[in-house]
Amino acid sequence: MADAKINPFNLSCPVPRVADDRIVLAHGGGGRLTHQLIEKIFIPAFSNAMLEQRHDGAVLPVNGARLAFTTDSFVVRPLIFPGGDIGDLAVNGTVNDLAMCGARPLYLSSGFILEEGLPMETLRTIVTSMQKAAAAAGVKLVTGDTKVVDKGKGDGVFVNTSGIGLIEANVKHSIGPAAVQPGDAVIISGDLGRHGVAILSVREGLEFESEILSDTASLWPAVEALLCAGIDIHCLRDLTRGGLATTLNEIAADRNVCIKLQEALIPVNEVVQGACEILGLDPLYVANEGRFAAIVPAAQADAALDIMKKVPVSCGSARIGSVEETPARTVVLQSRIGGNRVVDMLSGEQLPRIC
């Protein structure tokens, strides 16, 4: 009964009519439309072997060493939110993209687009938290740029950061979906949904019994610990836009495998769960800024979990599922009550429901 075969439909994806002729918000949501934008506009224009890796960062062979290189832009409203601000996000987001390549983060650049009228105090706050986050992650901010736009033409501050990291010598193969094997274990580094709910609570003026703080943090210490212990990491992904569901769908599709999850094993904080219930959101799709999924050989799963639990940023790690062969290109979740369902990639924005 609970093991009944899942026979998913052919979820083919036609060109969207509504989103064809102009950019809509969902193009930046990390879901299906973002993917279509990349596949239809960017990849054809810039096509090369490094870009074809389709990873968060490019891995570049340079004089015998392997460098990881990545870039990310940050637009968030409000600029300062419970647990962080756009400054932390901008440093940690790029540091984490490097860490997910198995690279030790080394140097960052930072570009600021400032809106006329932005209080200097706000900028100071943001820069101070960038400095703190960079110190915590052990990276140096070595170059930057500033532009100012007319009032009304920006949302206070937009920040872009690019980063360079060095892939550790003991990383033998490249860490990414290509290394994922049926039989592997899926581990996540902590509970889901804190960042998205923290942002939403401020944006919508929601108050909860206890304040939810963004989970923004550098993930490198957890990755470093895994690498030092010699864990044969197959794939790492941070669970940002689109959340766990979107990330795992990307891996399942890239590698032509099934990822099977058990809902009861996926940690979600009680207050986050409550907020999601009220707003009609699914924590599997809510953004995180300090969580990642690690896919490792089943034989090393317990060891990896022990190591991750000892590092503060991943002390809430949990083994939540496994990689299987069929049904390919699918993420399946066994619900708490024992039924099965497919976990689809996010379509458009998650919208709050009516009642």
Partner 1 sequence: MKFLSEYRDQKAAEQLSQAIRQKVARPWIIMEICGGQTHTIVKTGIEDLLPREITLVHGPGCPVCVTPIELIDKAVAIAGRPDVIFCSFGDMLRVPGSSRSLFDVKAEGGDVRIAYSPLDALKLAKSNPEKQVVFFAVGFETTAPANAMSAWQADHDGIENFSLLVSHVLVPPAMEALLSSENCVVQGFLAAGHVCTVMGYEEYLPIAERYKVPIVVTGFEPLDILEGIHMTVSQLEQGRYEVENQYSRAVRREGNRPAQQRIAEVFEIAPRQWRGLGEIPASGFQLRGRFQKYDANRRFPFSGEPARESPECIAGLILQGIKKPHECPAFAVKCTPENPLGAPMVSSEGACAAYYHYGRRQNQPIQPQLSSPASR
- Distance (Å, whole) CA 158 – CA 269: 30
CB 295 within 8 A of CB 185: yes
Is residue 172 involved in binding partner 1 (CB under 8 A)?
no
Q: Using CB under 8 A, which of 29, 33, 105, 219 touches partner 1?
A: 33
With respect to partner 1, which residue has the nearer C-beta, 130 or 266?
Answer: 266
- Distance (Å, whole) CA 335 – CA 318: 17
Instruction: Select from 3-11, 58-66, 147-155, 300-308 the region that touches partner 1 (CB under 8 A).
Output: 3-11
Instruction: Select from 10-18, 53-61, 186-194, 292-300 the region that touches partner 1 (CB under 8 A).
Output: 10-18
- Distance (Å, whole) CA 166 – CA 69: 9
- Residue 246 CB, nearest distance to partner 1 (Å)? 12
Touching partner 1, residues 197-236 (CB under 8 A)? 204
CB 241 within 8 A of CB 29: yes
Is residue 355 involved in binding partner 1 (CB under 8 A)?
yes
Q: Using CB under 8 A, which of 24, 75, 106, 114 touches partner 1?
A: 24
CB 282 within 8 A of CB 191: no
With respect to partner 1, which residue has the nearer C-beta, 300 or 330?
Answer: 330
- Residue 184 CB, nearest distance to partner 1 (Å)? 22
- Distance (Å, whole) CA 275 – CA 260: 26
- Distance (Å, whole) CA 187 – CA 321: 7
Residues 6+ apart with CB under 8 A from 5: none
Q: Using CB under 8 A, which of 120, 150, 169, 353 touches partner 1?
A: 353
Residue 36's H or E segment, with its range, is helix 32-37
* x/- map, 250-289, partner 1, by CB under 8 A: --------------x-----x--xx--x-xx---------
Q: Using CB under 8 A, which of 25, 50, 65, 149 touches partner 1?
A: 25
- Residue 320 CB, nearest distance to partner 1 (Å)? 16
Instruction: Select from 7-15, 66-74, 75-83, 139-147 the region that touches partner 1 (CB under 8 A).
Output: 7-15
Neighbour-count burial of 345, counting CB atoms closer than 10 A to its CB (0-12 exposed, 13-18 middle, 19+ buried):
buried
CB 229 within 8 A of CB 303: yes
Beta strand 103-115 with 140-149: parallel, antiparallel or unpaired?
parallel
CB 285 within 8 A of CB 242: yes
Instruction: Select from 24-32, 44-52, 121-129, 288-296 the region that touches partner 1 (CB under 8 A).
Output: 24-32
Helix (H, G, I), strand (E, B) or coil at 326: coil
- Distance (Å, whole) CA 8 – CA 4: 12
- Distance (Å, whole) CA 123 – CA 50: 35
Residue 236's H or E segment, with its range, is strand 235-238
Which amino acid appears at position 230 of this protein? G
Is residue 11 involved in binding partner 1 (CB under 8 A)?
yes
Instruction: Select from 106-114, 187-195, 288-296, 327-335 the region that touches partner 1 (CB under 8 A).
Output: 327-335
Is residue 111 involved in binding partner 1 (CB under 8 A)?
no
Tell me which DSSP letter residue 38 carries. Answer: I
Instruction: Select from 11-19, 42-50, 81-89, 92-100 the region that touches partner 1 (CB under 8 A).
Output: 11-19
- Residue 22 CB, nearest distance to partner 1 (Å)? 6
- Residue 218 CB, nearest distance to partner 1 (Å)? 30
Is residue 354 involved in binding partner 1 (CB under 8 A)?
yes
* Residue ranges that bind partner 1, judged by CB under 8 A: 1-2, 4-19, 22-26, 32-33, 204, 264, 270, 273-274, 277, 279-280, 330, 334-344, 347-348, 351-355
